[in-house]
Structure 1
Amino acid sequence: MSRKSTNGDDAVIIKKYANRRLYNTASSSYITLDDLSRMTREGVDFKVLDAKSGEDITHSILTQIIMEEESSGSEPLLPISFLRQLITMYGNSMQAIMPSYLEAMMTNFSENQAKLREAFKQGAGDNPLAKMAETNMAMMRAAAEAFIPGKGAKKPAASASKASEPSADASAELAELRAQMAAMQKKLDQLGK
Structure 2
Amino acid sequence: MYKKHIFKYYENRKIYNTETKKLSNYCEILQSLKDGNNVQVIYNKTGDDITHHILFQILISEMKHSPEYVVKIFKILLLGDEKNLKKIQKAIDEIILENESKTL
Change (3 A) 1:100 1:17: farther
Any unmatched runs of 5+ in structure 2? 91-104
Deviation of 1:16 after TM superposition, in Å, equals 0.3
Q: Which residue does the alignment assign to 2:71?
A: 80
Structure with greater helix percent: 1
- Equivalence for 1:102: 84
Cα 1:79–1:23 change in 2 (3 A) is: closer
**Aligned partners of 1:99, 1:21: CA distance in 2, in Å?**
36
1: CA distance between counterparts of 2:56 and 2:11?
18
Normalising by the residue count of structure 1, what TM-score does the alignment of the two structures yield? 0.40
Judged with a 3 Å threshold, the aligned counterparts in structure 2 of structure 1 residues 51 and 37 are, in CA distance, closer, same or farther, namely same
- Higher RCO (CA < 8 A, seq sep 6+): 2
1:24 to 14, 17, 20: 17
How many residue pairs were aligned?
A: 90
Report the residue type matching 1:52 in the other structure.
Answer: K
User: How far has the Cα of 1:38 moved from its partner?
Assistant: 1.1
**Could you say which residue in structure 2 is the equivalent of 1:58?**
51
How far is the alpha carbon of 1:78 from its aligned partner?
Answer: 1.9
Residues 95-140 of structure 1: per-residue CA shift (max 9 Å, x gap): xxx374433x25996xxxxxxxxxxxxxxxxxxxxxxxxxxxxxxx
Match for 2:84: what amino acid? Answer: L
Secondary structure of 2:69's aligned partner:
coil
Give the residue type in structure 2 aligned to 1:39.
S
Whether the 8 Å CA contact 2:5–2:32 is kept in 1: the answer is no
- Asked if the contact 2:41–2:51 (Cα under 8 Å) also holds between the matched residues in 1, the reply is yes
Provide the rounded CA distance (Å) in 2 between the counterparts of 1:78 and 1:107: 10
**Matches of 2:89 and 2:19 in 1, distance apart?**
31
Structure 1 runs (4+) deviating above 3 angstroms are: 99-103, 106-109
Q: In the TM superposition, what is the alpha-carbon distance from 1:12 to its structure 2 partner?
A: 1.7
Partner of 2:95: none
Paired position in structure 1 for 2:101? none
CA–CA distance in structure 2, aligned partners of residues 14 and 108 of structure 1 = 23
Does structure 1 conserve the Cα–Cα contact (< 8 Å) formed by 2:5 and 2:39?
yes
Query: Structure 2-normalised TM-score?
Result: 0.70
Computing the radius of gyration from Cα coordinates, the structure with the larger value is 1
Deviation at 1:70, TM superposition (A): 0.9
Change in CA separation of 1:82 and 1:62 when aligned onto 2, cut-off 3 Å: closer
